[in-house]
Chains A and B, each alone.
Chain A
């Protein structure tokens, strides 16, 4: 037989073998007893036969939620960013395994090592709902995936409530949600439109990166009794400097963006006619661990905003006390070490 014919038949044979292998491998959908059932942010029902005990959490904010729920013993994998980012020191306090760098990290939410993830034998993976391809690949291996997509503070409550159900820590979830709602009720300022200050929220990517009206940043600003300078509908938006000059915000709030600080903004020649710069109202929120807008700690960021926007520059909240109260309520015993 000629080599060309041999190769032709070989390709046909490979096709047949691949089809057989794929068919066998793909038919691994498991029938799960529906003892625990929640609907994630994709609208997909997640069914577990028993509470999750081996969780790989690839979202830093959800990881924070798991520690608040005292479910740290169920965490088997974390995002690699936790080891590198500014919050590493706080997580090292919360979990000795992170301090010893012994808690596995199969990657971040987007670039993950599927092999490392499977080797952790998780019974639940928490990942951003927008990571379609990764979710498909994980679910194909029979591992349940809880997809997260946060657009509002109500979404954060839902996430914590769901995680409570999935980890059998619902009473704790109810407790910390209740605490947060109580604190939020104490903040919620309803000021007449005329008295509302306009706030420009500046993300860490740079001066011109902000959030529009369908965002947690917008909700935060409104919670503090102010109005968002950016009234565009987008969640994230890169604006033109002319927009910023035209909006002329009363306050500029910077997301924590070391090594930049408010002085950098105050010294920008092109911003010298902006109200916020003229009146020295440029502030930087504390590091992300203390006021992450995608966790129940958003309340602390809101309290900062209330102080930033106070009409007479008087501080409505004693932020040190508020921080202690929140950390003790959300992290329990470990709170004291965290505060130190």
Chain B
């Protein structure tokens, strides 16, 4: 397909995806027909239409809409953060969780669930940030942070928080244990306006910073010496981009739970489709990351009578698509 046409399509894709998602759900109270009837009634000036307009409003505007928006933002945050982290680390195997974010957040959430009196979302956010901060300071030596030591410290910190998570799980009763395990599989079923309100500002702020710095990522991807030659302070820029990626992804993880490998797969898919230029791939990760997660979530909330954790579907659907792209194209990193 023509690359320009593909990019235009990717930019337009969220609009139909967001609208179609409003019509999808497990309840008959807000089926496509009911929503059309209600909209038609509204446009033709009737005050109330359909069988139960109040219920229709509640399902569409209090349940589906906040969930759709939160899902879109979560997917966008993970994809943009993954793309940025891969760019600054010059490593295609990294993702937002590489510095211990997911393990820290999972421990924070588990601790809150076990102790009850701490808000789960806040605890996940704080411990996610704490884990990344710890990884950064462990890796810092003589004022410098090398990529290798940062990734290694991330693995160690991640291991520590995973061990702490296991301790909490071990001492939790079966009900709490089940909740903790489910939280780590993705937690979008509890989405609501309050969660959206508490998360969209840090998510969008982080994405905005990464968007502004997207051209610098191209320079940073050349190497530190080349970046300095171009008048860029690579340490400062990397730290800022890392902070922005952590802010966006930890806010997303705090409200949506852990959606494994999403921040790794989506940037690669986008790169395979449009190439490695971060100027283009950052905004396209925003639209495609959000849209793809939205489509997966639509499946997870409709495929059976009860909720299936979204993390299951991201892997079951994302992985074959990823494999297909690997077979069809090259990985796109060397282009």
Contact = CB atoms under 8 A, between A and B. Distances in A.
User: Does A associate with B in a complex?
Assistant: yes
Given A116-B26, A140-B193, A110 B182 contact: yes
Contacts of B267: none
B176 to A, nearest CB: 6
B200 A137 contact: no
A107 B305 CA distance: 8
A80 interface: yes
Interface stretch (B60-68, B130-138, B233-241): B60-68
A42 to B, nearest CB: 8
B211 interface: yes
A116 B27 CA distance: 6
Interface string B59-90: 10111111101000000000000000000000
Contacts of B190: 114, 133-134, 136-137
B62 A141 contact: yes
For chain A, give the interface size range.
35 or more
Contact of B29 (A4, A14, A114, A119): A119
Interface stretch (A68-76, A192-200, A231-239): A231-239
B331 interface: no
A108 B201 CA distance: 32
Nearest to A59: B175
Contacts of B62: 25, 118, 140-141
B207 interface: yes
Interface stretch (B95-103, B111-119, B223-231, B314-322): B111-119
For chain B, give the interface size range.
35 or more
B283 interface: yes
A130 B113 contact: yes
B306 A111 contact: yes
A212 to B, nearest CB: 11
Contacts of A7: 211, 283
Contacts of A110: 175, 178-179, 182
A112 interface: yes
A18 B200 contact: yes
B112 A115 contact: no
B63 A141 contact: yes
B161 to A, nearest CB: 20
B270 to A, nearest CB: 15
Interface string B148-187: 0000000000000000000000111111101100110001
B61 A115 contact: no
A12 B223 CA distance: 32
Nearest to A129: B116
A11 B175 contact: no
B173 A25 contact: no
A108 B189 CA distance: 12
B335 interface: no
B222 interface: no
A130 B176 contact: yes
B260 interface: no
Interface in A88-142: 105-116, 118-119, 121, 128-134, 136-137, 140-141
A136 B175 contact: no
Given A132-B113, A134-B190, A113 B26 contact: yes
A8 B211 contact: yes
B121 to A, nearest CB: 8
B112 A114 contact: no
Contacts of B30: 115, 119
A321 interface: no
B37 interface: no
Interface in A145-180: none
Nearest to A235: B173
A205 interface: yes
A18 B196 contact: yes
B191 A137 contact: yes
Interface in B6-23: none
A26 interface: yes
Contacts of B195: 137
Interface string A4-28: 1001100100110011011101100
A26 B67 CA distance: 14
A7, A105, A112: most-surrounded residue (chain B CB, <10 A): A7
A26 B200 CA distance: 15
B152 to A, nearest CB: 33
B301 A113 contact: yes
Contacts of B64: 115
Interface string B190-224: 11111111001100100110011000000000000
Given A21-B193, A133-B120, A235-B173, A11 B207 contact: yes
Nearest to B66: A25
Given A14-B204, A112-B306, A115-B63, 10 more contacts: A8-B208, A11-B208, A25-B193, A113-B26, A114-B191, A133-B183, A136-B194, A137-B191, A141-B58, A205-B174
17 contacts: A19-B197, A21-B65, A22-B193, A107-B189, A113-B306, A114-B67, A115-B26, A116-B27, A118-B59, A130-B113, A131-B179, A132-B112, A132-B116, A134-B190, A140-B194, A141-B58, A205-B174
